[in-house]
Amino acid sequence: MSHSPAPQFGAIIIGDEILSGKRQDKHLPKLIELLAARGCTLSWAEYVGDERTRLTEVLRRAVAGNDIVFSFGGIGATPDDHTRQCTAAALGVALQPHPQAQALITQRMQEMAAEKGEAFAPQHPDNVQRLQMGVLPAGAQIIPNPFNRIPGFSCRGARGAWLHCVPGFPVMAWPMVAWALDAHHRDLHQQQAYTERSVILFKAQEAALTPLMQAVEMAHPGIKVFSLPSVDHPEYGLHIELGVKGKTAAIAPAWQQLTEGLHRLGAQFGPELQRQI
């Protein structure tokens, strides 16, 4: 019997303003932080602009397997917001009014009118346009928005993928991501707890270390061996940080093999480092 690989976490960050440098992305480091707090790690990330054909293809790849993907931006109702439409196209489903989403948007519009001391006019063109944010891919579930009620949405792919679409505004997006992680993926919390353990090596050459790195990875499936050379570190100067990372329970034997091999090579050891990732 074949088994699907364990789901991985991914990110799609959308917007021409990110690619042009007009705005700096803040979502990627925050998503890494939110995942780490739950013992999970980010496996991949992709940036894409506000272009429908390319965005649809990115989303189609995201939902093709069983990954858990967070998409940031483009879920509004202005001409440069395409995430709702492209998600529907990627999944091969129709867009349709989502009753709960539209009820929440209507509630928000009523609150906005009350704050201004105005009567709520549901047929006003602005309000009709706002309701488009509640037209979602068929089968979507909403993600509550604690900031202004206007929800994000989650969709499932045919092979089990999750696609969670949230706004580009950090004040809205980050609590929504946290909610989705806790509401839908609590079973994965801590199951993917990872540790990274490494050592600073002085006067080392990556070519000489490569056979040892390959041997450790071959002996310990699921463990990654990494090498991070630096030529101008403010504290260590010219050095290589060499280490292993993987599930916490499997790190110790891989680390032992790595350090024993380094001693045999006569490596010049600097400080050892360890962190949870």
Say whether both 119 and 37 belong to one domain: yes
The answer as to whether 2 is a domain residue is no
Q: What is the mean pLDDT of the chain?
A: 94
**Residue 75 · residue 105 · CB < 8 Å:** no
Identify the CA nearest to 99 among candidates 161, 44, 151, 34. Answer: 151
Q: What pTM did the predictor assign?
A: 0.81
In this prediction, residue 2 has a pLDDT band, given cuts at 50, 70 and 90, of very low
Overall domain count for the chain: 2
pLDDT of residue 82: 97
Say whether both 243 and 266 belong to one domain: yes
pLDDT in tens, 57-112: 999 999 999 999 999 999 999 999 999 999 999 999 999 999 999 999 999 999 99
pLDDT of residue 132: 95
φ/ψ region of 112 (left if φ > 0, alpha if ψ in -120 to 50, else beta) reads alpha
Instruction: Determine the structural domain holding residue 251 and report its residue range.
Output: 194-276
The answer as to whether 81 is a domain residue is yes
The answer as to whether 4 is a domain residue is no
**Domain end residue (candidates: 131, 155, 188):** 188
pLDDT of residue 276: 73
What one-character-per-residue DSSP string does 29-90 give? Answer: HHHHHHHHTTT--EEEEEEE-S-HHHHHHHHHHHTSSS-EEEEES--SSSTT--HHHHHHHH
**Domain end residue (candidates: 142, 157, 188):** 188
Average pLDDT over residues 205-213: 94
